[in-house]
Structure 1
Amino acid sequence: MDHSQDTALLTALMEAAADAIIVADDHGLMQRTNPAADRLFGYDEGTLIGQSVNVLMPKVLADLHDGFMSHHLKTGEKRIIGIGRDVEGQRKDGTVFPLHLSVGRADIAGTPMFIGILHNLTARRAAQEALARSQRLDAVGQLTGGIAHDFNNLLTVIIGNLELLQMRGVDERQTDLIDDALASAELGADLTSRLLVFARKGDLKPTRVDLRQQCRDALAILRRTIGERYTIRTEFAKTLSAVMVDPVQLQSALINLALNARDAMPNGGEFLISVADVRIDDEYMAQETDIEPGDYVRLFISDDGEGMSIDAQRRAFEPFFTTKADKGGTGLGLAMVYGFVRQSGGHITLYSELGHGTSFGLYFPALKNTNAAKGKLSGAEASDMPFGTGQVVLVVEDNPRVRRLSIERVRDLGYKTEEAENGDEAFALLSAGAQVDLVFSDLVMPGTLNGYDLAAKVRQEFPHIKILLTSGYASDVISGKMGGSADDRILHKPYRQSELAERLQALL
């Protein structure tokens, strides 16, 4: 093979590679980059050539890198060369993300050249964090299940002895004492049975059910219980797959979540229950929800109440964790719901913002050969998705992890991105002259401008800029009090990549 063939083969290999490949000289100046590297770090094709590799990493790592390279060139010691390691990369827009870096060395005409292969670890890191959360709850569940089992044995002995005493004939004063003791022991038995559901060791009796009917049955009870200050809205899909769940436990979970919503709205309010089929067939959606790909029936319960802090959200499903200890809360309600959903083969998600409300999503595996035809659920295949041509999308999101994921999704669809962590910062960027074609903003954010406010100001000041709003709430439960307009069609989280692609194309 002659030199021109070698060059053509190297070019083809670099362009075909899904991972980023960078070739740099002994001064750390980049001589070649492949398209994957340009996309990963957010640079136009060819603009990295001649720049230092230090622009691709945070300053602290860049300083260390210079020291590593200097040491290697002087001593030949391989601290990086030939040894893969996890590092942090920095995009052109300043965002930092996790990478796996492998470096090789080649001496060409006596001059050392270095080849770096970089693999984006963002998705893997998110999956590891989700697994760690799940394992922590599983460990707590195992411990809880063991304790509950032992307590059940003790309570069985206590209840049995108390009943024997009753049968042997006792006076009225003793009867009252035994009745109180029995009532307390039975309350303890009820608590341990709920703990066993959390630990996924309780006995479920699953049957084929329609979640819409189950919700109607629960609402018949709830409407009599929660009072007139609360409005319950429903959004039920016209066709729906059946699921296999224990109807008694499902009713209990629904009532538990609804009463939680009521408690979060002490002065009255609205909550919404929605049911629909959903297909998780998109790596981004699976990553966002921590759910295995497949067909599910999704039940959302949303309220416009007080919302939950980040710490409360992290610990919400742990047994005995409660923010209502002063009101008699045991901290077992959500633990029981979590255990029931997981034991039913399902998943549960939580989205909340302090001061704006909370939304629980319960995902149950859909049974095959039911109303939902797979073709109707499926969105566009990746090859059929409409792609952008380099238009600039300003991503506005206060949660850093969600913001990173959103940026990655938008870039994968062929758009360039800018970012802001709230509406105030986004409007300041636009006012300073940032060239943007579309604003893609979360609805609920800290600061003076929520998503609706930002949209209204953009329409007034920058009418050429398109707007797309997104929200983790099941429906526009909070839109009324936030000042939403009919112009704002919400893209509800979690959304599929094909839905995002279609919305962006329609707007642009």
Structure 2
Amino acid sequence: MCYVGVQKHDSSASGMDGRAKEQVRTKPFLSGRKEEELHALIDTVPDAMVLIDQAGAIRSFSRGAEAMFGFDEAEVLGENVSMLMPSPDRENHDGYIRHYLATAEKRIIGIGRITTARHRNGNTFPINLSIGEVKIDGTQGFIGFIRDLTEKQQTERELHGLQADLAHVSRISSMGSLATSLAHELNQPLTAVANYANAARDLLDEPKAEDLALAREAMEHCAEQAIRAGKIVHRLRDFISRGDTERQIASLRRLTQEASALALMNGDGRGVDFETALDDSVDAVLVDPIQVQQVILNLLRNALEAMREVDHKQLSVSSSRYDESFVHVSVSDSGPGLEPQVADRLFHPFNSTKPGGMGIGLSICHDIITAHDGKIWVEPSDFGGTAFHFTLPLAQIGEESD
């Protein structure tokens, strides 16, 4: 679904009727001068600051928050703070507060994390969120410090550009050295293959009984040298590979949130209806977090690129139980889809659907998932585009994180 404009939170969901909400909107969180002093302090902070009460109602909305989310403070006072969140956090937020008040278990409070937020116009953007608990004049509330990760300083952009240029030069240099080494290593067996094949062909032009034995011997040597070339490539691949994955117990939801925030950076999520539907019962996975995050990030970026020219942009990440030992993850988009002949070779190296693409991204994804004993495949999505599916091992009871 697409969220455009101001979407008021259902007051029944937070147990607050219209009259109670209006009282919250007009009644100060603090008395008189203290309220003014607190707001003056909050407004000096360049990042967004949002103060809410125990019911999740917004009680103070800084100027930085107005600029970040596109709402005036008067529009949001008394509204549930979940109006600033995309699904599924929007629907689950009140439950998070009730759980904390009942158990004092800190799942988010005091712990900064990267996640996503929703602008007034419906766009989703990445943020760094920190939440603290406050008590002023005996009144308990929560304050959120929000930094928009899409807002980069010019110097930081220039630094990133310089780093990208250096990384590009490094890759070109490394690939040049790699190509030289590979050519040197493969030259001898490939030359031998050609020589033995030519010799066998010449012997078979006017075959004699004694020539057939020589031709057979030449073909055997040809096969031996071809196997040798294959072993050279295999050894080189082992050298480049990181080897066995360093697995630890990780939260699939956390990995997805952080990868989503990175994918939606720099406005790439503009106009995209993005949602997640992750099954918390299969959240704990035994993986190399960086590698799995790279897979999710790669698939999300591919989906965003595929949807650039379509009018309706819909993207989702979902998870469900695959079997007793694995979780099934899907990344689905509403792009133009894939031709069957392309899908058959999509995970092969140097096979790309992008103009100028190297065709190694999905090949790397395949290698990572395979190294985790999982599998990856592609199908048409329910949105009319493409759905990438992969499986990851679940963390079993008794396993410990490294």
Larger relative contact order (CA 8 Å, sep ≥ 6): 2
Length-normalised TM-score, structure 1: 0.30
TM superposition score normalised by structure 2: 0.36
